[in-house]
Amino acid sequence: MNVKSTTFPLVNPLSKPILYSYWRSSCSWRVRIALNLKEIPYDIKPISLIKSGGEQHCNEYREVNPMEQVPALQIDGHTLIESVAIMHYLEETRPQRPLLPQDVHKRAKVREIVEIICSGIQPLQNLIVLIHVGEEKKKEWAQHWITRGFRAVEKALSTSAGKYCVGDEISMADCCLVPQVFNARRFHVDLRPYPIILRIDRELEANPAFRAAHPSNQPDCPPELPNK
């Protein structure tokens, strides 16, 4: 499918899934990991959150995602938005390589960690909020909310973690944790008080599904980026 700006809202149910993504967006990153883990082929349609005041605000893209943010996933003839909802959809339609444990209490624990990150941390430090907070205060603001959330994540992990966030199987919680650790580093959060978070992040660094989803491996990552 040839995606032009004027054909944004058209979704062909037989097409390869298209992920509207921005290389550094942690919410896009979560979905990239989930797609990779489940080995679902997809094309990336980059949406720059920077260029021209943010391509996510253009009229055509607003039809794709009325929240004017990434990601959005066109799949099975539908356009899905919101990263956790998308991961659940993938889990329910593509059960291979599960992102949720079978045990109902472990599932609750996965969703708890997901929600601490996706409702308790990321929304408070995303680009659109930091623009509103202002250049001068944004670093301190982001550090404050990430630190508060990571204290709770570390505490949750102290009883749930095995090799990964919940036991020894990779789950949605891991898909959310790794991008959030990246953001924490961007804002120079002191991560030493969170040894379990750091250990899991290191463990997942070499995983091919996580590696391929990393911002530095995205088609829209600027070539001049250091440490690429």
Q: Residue 206 CB, nearest distance to a copy of itself (Å)?
A: 29
Q: Min. distance of Cβ 123 from a copy of itself in angstroms?
A: 5
Nearer to a copy of itself, 45 or 111 (CB): 111
Q: Which residues bind a copy of itself (CB under 8 A)?
A: 66-68, 76, 78, 80-86, 88-89, 92-93, 104-105, 107-108, 111-112, 114-116, 118-120, 122-124, 129, 132, 141, 144, 148-149, 151-152, 155-156
The encoded tokens of residue 189 equal 């959060």
> Phi, psi at residue 71, to the nearest 5°?
-90, 170
Cβ distance to a copy of itself smaller for residue 50 or 85: 85
CB of 138 to a copy of itself, least distance (A): 13
Q: Are 91 and 35 in contact, with CB atoms under 8 Å apart?
A: no
Beta carbon nearer to a copy of itself, 2 or 109: 109
Strand order in the sheet with 78-81: 43-46, 18-21, 72-75, 78-81
* Overall residue count recorded for the chain in this entry: 228
How many Cβ atoms from other residues are within 10 Å of residue 62's Cβ? Answer: 14
Contacts of 9 (CB under 8 A, 6+ apart): 60, 63, 64, 79
Q: Burial-class residue 130 by CB neighbours within 10 Å (0-12, 13-18, 19+).
A: middle
CA distance 223 to 218: 10
CB of 205 to a copy of itself, least distance (A): 26
- The residue to which tokens 């967006």 are assigned: 25
166 versus 209: smaller Cβ distance to a copy of itself: 166
Q: To the nearest whole angstrom, how small is the minimum distance from the Cβ of residue 135 to a copy of itself?
A: 17
Looking at beta carbons only, is 97 or 211 nearer to a copy of itself? 97
Alpha carbons 30 and 86: distance in angstroms, whole number: 10
Nearer Cβ to a copy of itself (25/83) = 83
Task: Tell the smallest beta-carbon distance from residue 222 to a copy of itself (Å).
Answer: 27
